Structure 1
């Protein structure tokens, strides 16, 4: 696996978590709206080995504790992907400096 593939996968992971956070924000914003059903984000792997976020409604109401827990998990997942991306960028930079020398 190449460094650019790793960085690309990390970017797709960050994008998936951003989608998840958007669904959580929508749930919190509409929690008192009559008839609103909670949005759930499903993360699925795709053929390239990365992840895709699919948002869809559920039959349940919004629960603040569930939304907060999901937000914490999404934040940690986003940060983990960001660290992978930054590490890949650092390795790429190191390889480029070795190549120049």
Structure 2
């Protein structure tokens, strides 16, 4: 696995976590909005080893929107934050490795 593919995978992870935060923030902001249907983010792997998040609304069978679930949304925010930070650390490590590699190549 190359440094650039590692960085691309970590970047896709950060983008997926951003989408999860978007969904949770929308749910929290609209918790008291009548007929609001919650957004959910589903994560799936991609062919290159990364991850993507797809947003979808809850199935609304009652016609009155879905119930707020602030505990779930707050938990999503906290896990998305820590996962984003982990992916950012991997990305930064890859950038440091690129920098070191370019220094070695220049010295030759």
TM-score, with length taken from structure 2: 0.89
Match of 1:62 in 2: 68
User: 1:21-53 CA distances to partner (integer Å, 9 max, x unpaired)?
Assistant: 011111011100111121110000011111110
Larger radius of gyration: 2
Aligned equivalents of 2:68 and 2:11: distance in 1? Answer: 29
- SS of 1:62's partner is coil
Match of 1:76 in 2: 82
Correspondence 1:28-39 to 2 at 5 A: 28-39=28-39
Greater than 4 Å deviation, 4+ residue runs: none
Number of residue pairs matched by the alignment: 101
Match of 1:11 in 2: 11
- SS of 1:95's partner is helix
How far residue 8 of structure 1 moved from its aligned partner, in angstroms, is 0.8
Aligned equivalents of 1:67 and 1:23: distance in 2? Answer: 8
How far residue 6 of structure 1 moved from its aligned partner, in angstroms, is 0.6
The answer as to 2:8 corresponding to 1:2 is no
RMSD: 1.0
Match of 2:102 in 1: 96
How far residue 72 of structure 1 moved from its aligned partner, in angstroms, is 0.3
How far residue 13 of structure 1 moved from its aligned partner, in angstroms, is 0.8
How far residue 56 of structure 1 moved from its aligned partner, in angstroms, is 0.6
Aligned equivalents of 2:68 and 2:2: distance in 1? Answer: 41
